A and B are shown apart, each in its own frame.
Chain A
Amino acid sequence: MNILVCISNVPDTTSKINFKDENKSFDSNGVQFIINPNDEFGLTRAIWLQQKSGAKVTVVTVGDVSCEPILRKCLAIGADQAIRIDVVPEDGYFVASQLAALYKSIPYDLIITGRESIDYNGGMVGGILATLLDLPYIANCIQMELEGNVAILQREIDGGKETLSGSLPMVLGAQKGLVEESDLIIPNMRGIMQARQKPLEVLSPLHGENASKVNIFEKPPAKGPVKLVDAGDIDTLIELLQNEAKVL
C-alpha cells in the first residue's frame, strides 16, 4: 500500500504575524517554521499504517528549498521518502494541480492532506485535488479504519460527527482526532540519523495556473484596553454587556 501525505510548511503557532514589501508579502524574518499541525496528525496516522501493515509513506510539499527542514523532520518521524516540487505556490488550486500531476505519474492508494493550513487557511487543497482526480474526499476526518480496500471514516460536523464508508483510493482531510496530540511522534536520534540517508527527490513543477492571487495583507486594528469589573459587582458587567456592548 502506498500513502502520499501532503505537507505544508507553516509558521509556528506561536508566531507573531508581520508583512513586508508594503504589506504585499509575509515577513518570515525570525519566524520558526513547522509541519502544518493538521498535516502532522495525518502523517502520524500514515506511520501507524506503515508500522501495522508495511505501507510505504511518501511525503510531498510544493515549495522552495526552505521547506526541506520540515521534510527531513517528516523522514525522521518515519516517512520512507520525500518529494519536493520546486516552486513557490501562489494559491491552493496551483498546489492541488501539481499534486494531481504527481498522482498521475505515481498512483497512491491513499492521499492525506491536512484539513487546512494554519497560514492561509484556504481549506481547499484536499477537495480540489480529489475532484481533479475524480476520487472521493472526506474533510475534517477524525477517524479512519481500513478493511482491505474499504475505509470506515468519521467526519466532524457541526454539533457532532458522521460515519462514512468508501473505497480506496481516496483523499482525506486530516485534523486532530484522527490521532491525538499525545500520539504525535517526536523524532529520536536514530530517526534523525536515518532521515539523512532517506531519499528526498526534487521535481520540477509542471506548468500550471493559479485560480486566485493575494494582492495585499493587513493586520487587525489594535485593540483598546480591557474594562475591568470588580468580582463582587456582577450587575455592572451585565449592565455594560446590555447597554454599552449591546450583546445581551
Chain B
Amino acid sequence: MSIVVFIESQNEVIKKSGLEVASYGRAVADLTGDSLVAVVFNLKNTGILNSYGVDKIYSVNTSSNTFFNVDQYSSTLANVVEKEGANIIIVSASADGRYLGPILATKVEAAYMSNVVALPSSFAPLIVKRSCFTNKAFNETESKKPKTVLSLSSNAFGVYEKASSSKIIEETFSEANSTLKVTSVDKVMDKVTIADADIVISGGRGLKGPENWYLIEDLAEVLGAATACSKPVSDMGWRPHSEHVGQTGKPVATNLYFAIGISGAIQHLAGINSSKIKVVINNDPEAPFFKAADYGIVGDAFEVVPKLTEKLKALQQ
C-alpha cells in the first residue's frame, strides 16, 4: 500500500510546508512499510523530491487553469488515493491544505484530523497527537475510519533529506463539476508568508501607528522573516487582517518569534504558543508576554529595534 502526500509548490519551488509533508510522509511510510507517493501540480522540476524519500510521483498538469480550485484538486487527489489504495493521506496546514483536507476526506470516506504535531503513536487504529484550544492544549485523536487524512501543523516535524529514486507518472487533472471559479489572485510574491517563515517579526500597539512599521519591516528584511501583528493593530486597520496573529487570526508556529510592543493578551499568546523561541521587546516590565517568552528586553522599541537591525545587518556583511 501507499502513503499519499499532497506537495504544494509555487513557481517551480516546493514550499517549506511541502517538504515537511514529504519528510513526515517518509517517516510514516518507514514505520508502516508502505511506499511514499507524492502528488504535485504544475511542477516540472520534480527531481528535488528524490532528496526527500519519495518513491512515486503523480505529476498533474492543470493546463491553462493555474489557479487553485479546491473541487478539481481534491477530485484529482481522490483519484490517486483510489488508484493507490492509500489509507493515510497527508496535506499541509497551508490555507489551501486546510481548505482541501476535509473535502478530500469526505470524497474518499476518510476521517480528517487537523493540527497534527507528531508521528502516529499507533497505526491500528491510527492515533495521532494534535494541538487544540488554539495551542493551549493537545489531544490524542483516534481514527474510526479505514482511511485518514492528516493535516500536518507547520514547523511541527521538520524537514529531513533522504535519497530515493522516484518513478514519475503523468496524471490527468480532474475537471470536477464545480460552479466555483477563481477570477483573480492578489498575493505578495516577493515576501515570505507567515505559514512558510522560519522567523516572524510581530508588532503591537506599542509601535504607536502604522507609520512606524518600518521598524518591523527593516528587521524582517535583514532576517528574511515574515511580518505579523496583534489583534488591536489589525482591528485599527494599521495592518491587513492576513497579518493578525492569535486565536481569531493566524496561528504562528515558527522557530523564532519577535513580539515588539505587544503586551501579550492570552488570545495572542495562544496563537504563538507553538513557536519554538519567543523574544519580547516591551517598555512595560509587567507585560504578560514576559511570562511566555524565552528572552526579553525591557526597553523602548524605538531605540532597541533599530540597534538590533543594525547589528544583525553588520553581522551579515
Contacts and interface: CB of A to CB of B under 8 A. Distances in A.
Interface stretch (A49-57, A74-82, A123-131, A194-202): A123-131
Contacts of A231: 297-300, 303-304
Contacts of A166: 179-181
Given A158-B195, A215-B127, A237 B308 contact: yes
B241 A214 contact: no
Contact of B273 (A121, A167, A220, A229): A220
B54 to A, nearest CB: 23
B144 to A, nearest CB: 5
Nearest to B312: A238
A24 to B, nearest CB: 10
A231 B302 CA distance: 11
**Interface residue tally on A, bucketed by range:** 35 or more
Given A164-B183, A234-B307, A124 B112 contact: yes
A124 B111 CA distance: 10
Interface centre among B102, B184, B249, B315 (most CB of A within 10 A): B102
A247 B248 contact: no
A73 interface: no
Nearest to B178: A136
Contact of A215 (B112, B139, B196): B139
A19 B138 CA distance: 11
B103 A159 contact: no
Nearest to A168: B179
A245 B144 contact: no
B315 to A, nearest CB: 7
Interface in A210-248: 210-220, 223-224, 226-231, 234-235, 237-238, 240-241, 245, 247-248
A163 B139 CA distance: 35
A172 B187 CA distance: 21
A237 B134 contact: no
B12 interface: no
B185 A157 contact: yes
Interface of B: 67-68, 70-71, 94-96, 98-99, 101-103, 105-107, 110-115, 127, 131-145, 148, 151, 178-189, 191, 193-196, 198-199, 223, 231, 234-235, 241-242, 244, 247-249, 255-256, 265-267, 273, 276-277, 279-280, 290-300, 303-304, 307-308, 311-312, 315
